[in-house]
Structure 1
Amino acid sequence: MYVSCRKTATSAAQHDAAISGREANTEANPTSGWTQTSYTYNIQTPWNLSQSSRYSYSGGEHRFWIYPDDECQYEGCSTGPRSELRMNNNYTSGRHQFEGDVYIVSGSKGTDIMQVFGGSTHATAIMLKIHSASGGTIKRYDNETLMTSAYNKWIHVNVQHDADNGRIYVYINNTLKGNYADRGNATHYFKCGVYNISGSRSETRWKNVKYWKNGPVGQ
């Protein structure tokens, strides 16, 4: 599929003290100064089911859903159930940004809704994960809280990755929520949808998914 979409080192300690793990109060424009870049993508769904059993696309909206007993994307793999868009934007350096609007259906929990794949100490640089507490809580993995009351509404998400300096910046509804170490250099790419599950059914809907390159981070 094809979609047309619209090194200066900084002290990690200073970043963490100033921003990481706490919410900034001013609204930002995360894509200001960035270049929108076309991309291609693949859809990954359980290998033993038709793609339409766990994914649909209509009116510019991607819909992903999984159940606990689902398989992963290819026969013999040992990871969890998934229905995801895998952006073909492999990179190892530079500045890259994911943007999109997500609707998280209530009851989804224990589920990664967006990820930057690739790391030297872990498989991923970051995952945004939905938990069931407080009307749906988005966290960085099981750690820092990025948003509560997240179920059943459209949420604007921007994730900037400065691969040269090993930092990731997460914005929710144009507010910088924190920046984090990216867990080491590797081949990275963006994914969104649903991956892993601890409830009976998880579903997200994504629209306006865009890819940006080479702009300022953490503004």
Structure 2
Amino acid sequence: MNHSCSYMQLLLSFFLVFFLGNSGADPTDGFTLVPLTDANIELQKPYDVPLEQRYSCEAGVHRMWVYADDKPHEPDSRTQPRTEIRIQGLDYSSGIWQFEGYGFVPNGTSGATVTQIHGAAMAATTIILRIYNGNMRYYSGDLVAENLYDKWFRLNLIHDVDGGVVRVFIDGEKKFQVNDKGRSDSMYFKCGVYAAPANISYYMESRWRDIKIYKK
């Protein structure tokens, strides 16, 4: 992540806090903000194309896109194509951790994971949030939120490791809760676009700004 992107993200954060404010309980109440630096932002993209062909950052907005026939992020990987931000250096295995970010998914993107917690005792991931036809789903199943195309939404994803629970908030409202898949020695947050195993659009894109990590 370049320094201009980091600077603009800080300005956006100040604007949201100072000018917009909030009313009532907020998902971040009681949490401590964990500072992020460029070193915490690791970008993953198809291994055979330059980063600028699948990622851009302007005015603090991370734009990530991928095509259904793209290669995986490593030559020896058998996973689906992705362009994602992996929060590096803040892996966790206990406590209560929270991802916050403002996401945007353009109309037409479908079958794409836009946020996830990687790592679990009984699976590769604790939670995956996918967009199908404008709706957000837990993996390919339970409905989390509807009508998210072409608008910015605030996502707060809270993982209570000791309690074994994950909670999802959209625009400050609790939308979903589920038991996690067991404690792993290394769990971390990701956002961007990661193609599902099936029923995907050819082109997939998401945008993210004002990304923050909190903990208790």
Q: Which residue of 1 aligns with 2:164?
A: 166
**Kindly tell me: are residues 96 and 68 of structure 1, through their superposed partners in 2, closer, same or farther at Cα, counting changes over 3 Å?**
same
Q: Please give the root-mean-square deviation of Cα atoms over the aligned residues, in Å.
A: 1.8
SS at match of 2:52: helix
Q: Say if 2:116 is the partner of 1:115.
A: yes
Q: Which residue of 2 aligns with 1:53?
A: 53
Q: Could you state the TM-score of these two structures normalised by the residue count of structure 1?
A: 0.83
The question of whether the paired residues in 2 share the 8 Å contact of 1:27 and 1:175 is answered with no
Alignment of 1:24-63 (within 5 A): 28-39=25-36, 40-63=40-63
Alignment of 1:1-219 (within 5 A): 28-39=25-36, 40-88=40-88, 89-132=90-133, 136-186=134-184, 187-196=186-195, 198-214=200-216
Supply the distance in 1 between the matched residues of 2:146 and 2:213 (Cα, whole angstroms). 26
Supply the distance in 1 between the matched residues of 2:24 and 2:112 (Cα, whole angstroms). 27
Percent of aligned positions that are identical: 34
Deviation of residue 28 (structure 1)? Answer: 4.0
Aligned residues: 192
SS at match of 1:52: helix
Q: Could you state the TM-score of these two structures normalised by the residue count of structure 2?
A: 0.85
Supply the distance in 1 between the matched residues of 2:24 and 2:79 (Cα, whole angstroms). 37
Larger relative helix fraction:
2
Deviation of residue 165 (structure 1)? Answer: 1.7
Mean Cα deviation higher: 82-91 or 196-205: 196-205
SS at match of 1:98: strand
Deviation per CA, 1:168-209, whole angstroms, max 9, x where unpaired?
Answer: 110011100121111111110000000015111011010010
The question of whether the paired residues in 2 share the 8 Å contact of 1:28 and 1:176 is answered with no
The question of whether the paired residues in 2 share the 8 Å contact of 1:83 and 1:194 is answered with yes
